[in-house]
Amino acid sequence: MSIIVSILSTFNSKGLTAAEKRTAAFNKAVKGLGVTMAATFGASQITSFVKQSIKAFAEEDKAVRSLGLNLKSLGLAYDVKPIEEYIDKLQRATGVADSELRPAFQQLANATRSLSKSQEILGVALDISAATGKSVQQVTQALSRAYLGNKTSLGRLNIGITKADLATKSFDDILGDLSKRFTGQAAAAADTYAGKMARISIAADEAQEILGGKLVQALEMLGEGRGGITPLVDEMERFATYVGNIAVGLAQVTKDIEGLTGGKVKAGEALKPSKLLRWTSNLVPGVKAVLDLLQARADVANQPDVSPTRQLVKKLEAEKKITGEIKKQNKAKTEASKLDKAKSMLDLEKIQIEAALQGELTENEKLRLQLMKAIVNENADRATTLAEKLAKSQNELASLKAASYDFKPANPFDGWLQAIEAMRKGLASIGANVGTIPGAATASGGMSRLSVTPNMPEIPIFGGAGFITPQLATSNPTGMAQINITVQGTGGLDDQTKKAVVDAVVEASSYGTPTNWFRTTGSAVMPI
Amino acid sequence: MPVAVKGLVETQRALRKFDPDFYKAMQSEIRPELSGMVREAKSLVPKYFLGGAMSDGTERESRTSRSRAFPTYDNVQIRRGLTYSMGKQKRQRNGWQSMYSLLNKSAMGAIVETAGRLNPGGDSRSQSNNPDAGRQFIDRANQISRPKQVGRGRKNQGRLAFAAVADNMGRAKAAIVDAIERAEAKYRSTTR
């Protein structure tokens, strides 16, 4: 064993918290039992015990009926009795009260719709609860959710189920693992001192419930022959009202007697039966008046307080209470927001944003991620700035896109025509005969057609005269491509037609056909 | 006295997750402080201790009821056993857990470190043939270095690692806490 000299330490409450929970559970069990015992055997608590017994019976009865109805709605009505027996045995064996077991079982039955599966899961839940110190309800809730496919809460139980297990394993596999790992924990816990105390406490509770049940039964018996328990209840209420009225009346009689005797008889003395009798007999004629007065005073006493000052005070008190509640709620909200902020530091979304920001990004993508980060961090100022930047960036991007659509480059072959024209002019300047096309024939009527080799593509010519379609020149003995153009009127060819002619010549030449052009009629060379 | 930093585990975990490079940088800032103290502790280990306790290179057999013989003094081995840890130690029963610590791992080193803490005049249950062996051992150990206190209690004093921490504590502690606080501040600024 090595010697360790600690330089920096941190406090790790893990384990201590669990121990505290267990101690608290033990204390609770002892206290519960103590309270039950004291309440059971304390002479002054008999009335209270009777009330509590009836209440406990009522609660149990309500829970049993609720479970029964629930099972009936699930189509399991015939299993209500066996389930009640099962829960009863389970609570005695494990020391977990039926008030905990019944809702747990109900929840599982709702989730699984199968009694055997619910019993199996409840058994595992009890083991886990005993091993981890978590409540049966908490564990059952997690398991029932997991059964329905939501395994998140199961992971939160911190019972050694990894995220990989949750993602890959089926519920049955996970349940099998848990069953193997925690088997026997509930039985072991029930065998501890705390467990035994809990079982005794449960037995005491059960006894109380049984007693409550019997008391209700006795009251029902009393109500028999009077139309059931409802008239009995009404009679009891009426009786209570009478008793209350008598108390108020007596107090009022005392005060009124003081008033009638001019203070000669004090209130305490007036309550003495002998004096009461004497004064009452002396006041026989006024008895009716006294009774009326009593009634009037009792009515006044029963009326709500209408004093404006008191009402105002009450109103102020109510407002103060409301303000206090609002303050409390605001404080809770502030604390919750602080907690949320702290949680957000380890938020998955945040991690993803951070990870994404590490990669190679365009300026626009980076801005988007930073904006997401600011929103997640609830940093409004930064989010506004970044949103503006992002909008600007997106506008720039959009205008760039539009510019790219509008971009139409010039025809690169336009230069060719200019070059050919330059060549032609050059040839003309040295005296070459470039002004005529060999085989050109004159035709009458508007612009005729260009005749080219059969493989030549159709060349449309738009101009003043019309449309030119390539056509094989059949009359040309040399086999040269022949283009016949007839110009109407005295004017020359327009620029577009001239260009088309040049294109046709160039095209024909490019196909390997010797090409020339000339004028068949007239004297002027066409200026192209 | 050991210093407890609240949220240290969380800070370390967050740094490791979000900024591993900065976590490494923080650890490398702390490392020299710890290694300095280890050097200091090693310098306190003398070459010679007591004639009968010195190692002759062979392993001795136990001649008492104990299964393992009393370890021999080998200064190289003791120095090798003096080291530091930047990882979490086992949690104590009271909930405290050491995050940065100096260790004295060798058996003889641990004895030299702690001898006489409980029985300054030697243990009466000694099984040595020499009835004064315990006292002589402690006297010799005290010549090397008097036990120095780190924090409160008998168990927080020693001659090697404890002495080094006691001598160096002020500087090292401040530097370590400072490094952690800076790391935490940077982490918070990056995640804001």
User: Three-state SS string across A270-309, please?
Assistant: HCCHHHHHHHHHHCHHHHHHHHHHHHHHHHHHHCCCCCHH
For B19-29, the pLDDT digits (tens) are: 788 888 888 88
pLDDT of residue A444: 40
Q: Which residue of A has its CA nearest to B172?
A: A7
Q: Would you kindly state where each structural domain of chain A is located, as residue ranges?
A: 16-207, 233-302, 313-403, 417-528
Asked whether the beta carbons of residue A4 and residue B101 sit closer than 8 angstroms, the reply is: yes
Asked whether the beta carbons of residue A11 and residue B103 sit closer than 8 angstroms, the reply is: no
C-beta separation of A237 from A231 below 8 A: no
CB of A404 within 8 Å of a chain B CB? The answer is no
Asked whether the beta carbons of residue A7 and residue B3 sit closer than 8 angstroms, the reply is: yes
Burial class (CB in 10 A: 0-12, 13-18, 19+), A437: buried
CB of A343 within 8 Å of a chain B CB? The answer is no
Q: Which residues of B touch A14 (CB under 8 A)?
A: 91
pLDDT of residue B42: 94
CA–CA separation, A90 and A124 (whole Å): 13
Burial class (CB in 10 A: 0-12, 13-18, 19+), A127: buried
Q: Which of A5, A11, A379 sits opposite B96 (nearest CB)?
A: A11
Asked whether the beta carbons of residue A10 and residue B5 sit closer than 8 angstroms, the reply is: yes
Q: Which of A12, A351, A379 sits opposite B95 (nearest CB)?
A: A12
Asked whether the beta carbons of residue A2 and residue B104 sit closer than 8 angstroms, the reply is: yes
Asked whether the beta carbons of residue A8 and residue B113 sit closer than 8 angstroms, the reply is: no
Q: Which residues of B touch A346 (CB under 8 A)?
A: 14, 17
C-beta separation of B41 from B160 below 8 A: yes
CA–CA separation, B6 and B3 (whole Å): 10
Q: Which residues of B touch A3 (CB under 8 A)?
A: 103-104, 109-110, 113-114, 158, 161-162
For A111-147, the pLDDT digits (tens) are: 888 878 888 888 888 888 888 888 888 888 888 888 8
With CA atoms as reference, report the closest residue to A256 among A301, A321, A192.
A301
User: 63-102 in B: which are within 8 Å (CB) of A?
Assistant: 81, 85, 89, 91, 95-102
Q: Which of A5, A17, A348, A369 to mutate to test the interface with B (most CBs of B within 10 A)?
A: A5
For A9-49, the pLDDT digits (tens) are: 887 776 667 667 766 776 776 666 666 655 555 545 566 76
pLDDT of residue B163: 92
Q: Which residues of A touch B191 (CB under 8 A)?
A: 345, 350, 377
User: 139-168 in B: which are within 8 Å (CB) of A?
Assistant: 150, 158, 161-162, 165
- Tens digits of pLDDT across chain A (528 residues): 788 888 888 877 766 676 677 667 767 766 666 666 555 555 455 667 667 777 777 777 777 778 787 777 777 776 777 888 888 888 777 778 888 888 888 888 888 888 788 888 888 888 888 888 888 888 888 888 888 888 888 888 888 888 888 888 888 888 888 888 888 877 777 777 666 667 677 777 777 777 777 767 776 666 566 566 666 667 667 767 776 777 777 777 777 767 776 666 665 555 566 665 565 555 555 656 666 666 776 676 666 655 667 777 788 888 888 889 899 999 998 888 888 777 766 667 777 888 888 888 888 888 888 888 888 777 888 888 888 888 888 888 888 888 877 777 777 777 787 788 888 888 888 777 665 444 433 434 333 334 334 444 444 444 444 344 444 444 444 555 566 666 666 666 778 777 877 887 787 777 776 676 666 665 544 443
Asked whether the beta carbons of residue A15 and residue B95 sit closer than 8 angstroms, the reply is: yes
Opening angle at CA A289, ends A287 and A294, nearest 5:
90
CA–CA separation, A74 and A56 (whole Å): 27
C-beta separation of A52 from A39 below 8 A: yes
- What are the phi and psi torsion angles at A284 (to 5°)? -55, -45
pTM, to two decimals: 0.34
CB of A14 within 8 Å of a chain B CB? The answer is yes
C-beta separation of A128 from A119 below 8 A: no
CA of A345 vs chain B CAs: smallest distance (Å): 7
Virtual CA dihedral for A291, A296, A297, A298, nearest 10 degrees?
A: 90
pLDDT of residue A304: 62
Asked whether the beta carbons of residue B89 and residue A13 sit closer than 8 angstroms, the reply is: no
Which ranges constitute the DSSP H helices of A345-444? 348-358, 363-376, 380-406, 414-429
For B84-134, the pLDDT digits (tens) are: 999 888 888 778 888 899 999 999 999 999 999 998 888 888 888 888 899
CB of A358 within 8 Å of a chain B CB? The answer is no
Quickly state the pLDDT bin for B77 (edges 50, 70, 90): very high
Q: Which residue of A has its CA nearest to B149?
A: A5
Asked whether the beta carbons of residue B8 and residue A7 sit closer than 8 angstroms, the reply is: no
C-beta separation of B111 from B162 below 8 A: no
Q: Which of B1, B9, B13, B18 to mutate to test the interface with A (most CBs of A within 10 A)?
A: B18
pLDDT of residue A206: 73
CA–CA separation, A477 and B2 (whole Å): 116
CB of A11 within 8 Å of a chain B CB? The answer is yes
pLDDT of residue A267: 58
